[in-house]
Amino acid sequence: MSEVERLEAMNQFAARRKAGLDNTEDSVAKAAADAFSQGAKQVMLPAKTESELPERSGWVKRMAESLGFLSSWEWRWLVLKDCRAAWFEGPDKRRLHGVIDFELVDVEIERLWDDPSTSEASRSQGIRRGKDRGCRAVCISGFFSSDEAYFRLLPVGSNRAFEFGVATRKEAGYWIDDLGAHLEEADRRCEGRPRLSAERLNAFQRSRIKNAWWKVSRISPETFKHVAATGDILLFKSKGTFPRLIRAASAGTSRHGRFDHVGLILRLEGDTIGILEATGNEGVGLCTWRTFLANGWQNLYPELALRRVRCPRTAEALSTLQEWVGKVIGKPYNLSVSKLRHRGSTGGGQQDFFCSQLVAEALKVLGVIPRGQKDSAEFWPSSFSARSSPIPCSPGCSFDPEDLTIDFSLSGQTATESSGSAKRDATVSLW
């Protein structure tokens, strides 16, 4: 295709996207799919410029659940990134113990020491966001070194206090400085949108962690729209017999058969979120997030989760992915025993796709997953979950250590049940 033809295809896409903005039918996705197939020069948005927010991680002492008068302490790996503070079992981040999303709940910092040598920024953050105490409520100097310093994160409207300790007051000052920067950024992102109370956060419950909102990694639909990027993964847990069979089958290979469908996020021109997926009734196709919600399709799934992918989203990488997407859109869906028995890294010439095979192949095209190690057909939807075995990645690429459940109860816009269930079939028979 010549450069003139590619530009013309892009212009047609832009015009059709604009014409379809007020249409609940997925005309935007259809225009994008046509543009992909016609080789338009740029259908996907260039990667967003990463925020200049400081990132910090390290060992901290974390106060565990109280046992009467006494409290126990444990070592945790604390990670501050993208307006979220999460603590893990260790640096491998395989086991998440808790997370506080500053975009969901307003947080104050309480500095638990008084030292004139502490930076002015650290002192001001402690005062601005919370209390500034000169001594602990309970003396612990006999248990820990006098050089250690402690601070608390206090979610507004909650009776919980999350206390952390580090080796020196200087290090604690660095943590408070960086926490303050993330809190300020969360304020900016949430301008005009109030934070949620602990009671509202606890509306999302699982039996084993009832009223423990910090133990669930989740984001609001608004946050999803802000952070989702091309190459990220959207995981689905569906209702029905065949989804249960897929989860049961994948449990033998990925340890946790939690999901039965998966799609790939594409950021399209106009800052529209597209979902590239292979479904039982449409084959390989593109659906926009806006249409997904307009049809109430989120009500068909007990759980939807985002798994973020870290990789260099260069113009060349996105162009290669876009060209590949144009070739696979419209190909049929297929899940067969013979496909699952196939071995050896695929070369990208498939004539049909299962959903997880499509996503695996797309991530190979994007350069996230190296070729020659695992066939794309060997991936199950649950293979992409953070709870499953790690997926080998190319240098400079990685998957985030958590599945971010999209919690629609955190949104001010509550969707109603839709008759669109008949229009969407993510899975079909195994044979």
Model pLDDT, residue 413: 52
Please report, for the domain that includes residue 378, its CATH number: 3.90.1720
**How many residues make up the chain in this entry?**
431
Residue 49 lies in a domain: no
Model pLDDT, residue 211: 60
Model pLDDT, residue 222: 86
What does the pLDDT average to over 289-316? 92
Q: Are residues 136 and 12 in the same domain?
A: no
Q: Are residues 31 and 67 in the same domain?
A: no
CA distance 412 to 42: 34
| Residue of 402 and 140 predicted with greater confidence | 402
152-166, 245-259, 342-356, 413-427 — which is least confidently predicted?
A: 413-427
Do residues 286 and 29 touch, judged by C-beta distance below 8 A? Answer: yes
Q: What mean pLDDT, rounded, does the chain reach?
A: 77
CA distance 88 to 81: 13
Q: How many CA atoms lie within 13 A of 45 on its CB side?
A: 17
Model pLDDT, residue 116: 53
Model confidence at 132, pLDDT cuts 50, 70, 90, reads very low
Q: Are residues 33 and 69 in the same domain?
A: no
Q: Are residues 357 and 269 in the same domain?
A: yes
Q: Are residues 21 and 119 in the same domain?
A: no
Q: Are residues 276 and 412 in the same domain?
A: yes
Helix (H) or strand (E) holding 111: strand 107-111
What does the pLDDT average to over 380-400? 92
| Residue of 132 and 406 predicted with greater confidence | 406
Percent share of the chain, pLDDT over 90: 37
Cβ count near 156 (within 10 Å) = 14
Residues 6+ apart with CB under 8 A from 190: 103
Residue 113 lies in a domain: yes
Residues 6+ apart with CB under 8 A from 315: 46
- Domain containing 416 equals 3-43+229-423
Tokens in use for 11? 């212009």
Residue 222 lies in a domain: no
Residue 154 lies in a domain: yes
CA distance 215 to 209: 7
Please report, for the domain that includes residue 90, its CATH number: 2.30.29.30
Give 111: exposed, middle or buried? Use CB within 10 Å, 0-12, 13-18, 19+: buried
Cβ count near 206 (within 10 Å) = 10
Question: How many structural domains does the chain have?
Answer: 2
Model confidence at 7, pLDDT cuts 50, 70, 90, reads very low
What does the pLDDT average to over 335-343? 55
Model pLDDT, residue 357: 94
Helix (H) or strand (E) holding 252: helix 241-254
What does the pLDDT average to over 301-312? 93
Residue-wise pLDDT tens digits, 17-52:
444 444 445 666 776 776 666 665 566 666 665 568
Q: Are residues 288 and 340 in the same domain?
A: yes
What does the pLDDT average to over 402-422? 66
Rg (C-alpha) for the chain, rounded Å, is: 24
> Cα-flanking dihedrals φ and ψ of residue 31, to 5°?
-65, -40
Say if residue 397's pLDDT is above 80: yes
Q: Are residues 16 and 99 in the same domain?
A: no
Q: Are residues 66 and 22 in the same domain?
A: no
Look-up: residue for tokens 């699982």?
Answer: 206
Which of 124-133, 140-149, 271-280 is the most confident on average? Answer: 271-280
Q: Are residues 353 and 293 in the same domain?
A: yes
Say if residue 14's pLDDT is above 50: no
Which of 58-72, 279-293, 326-340, 353-367 is the most confident on average? Answer: 353-367
Say if residue 331's pLDDT is above 80: yes
Say if residue 164's pLDDT is above 90: yes
Instruction: Give the relative orientation of helices 27-37 and 3-19 as an angle to the nearest 10 degrees.
Output: 170
Q: Considering Cα of 181, then 182, then 185, then 191, what sign does the dihedral take?
A: negative
Model pLDDT, residue 337: 56
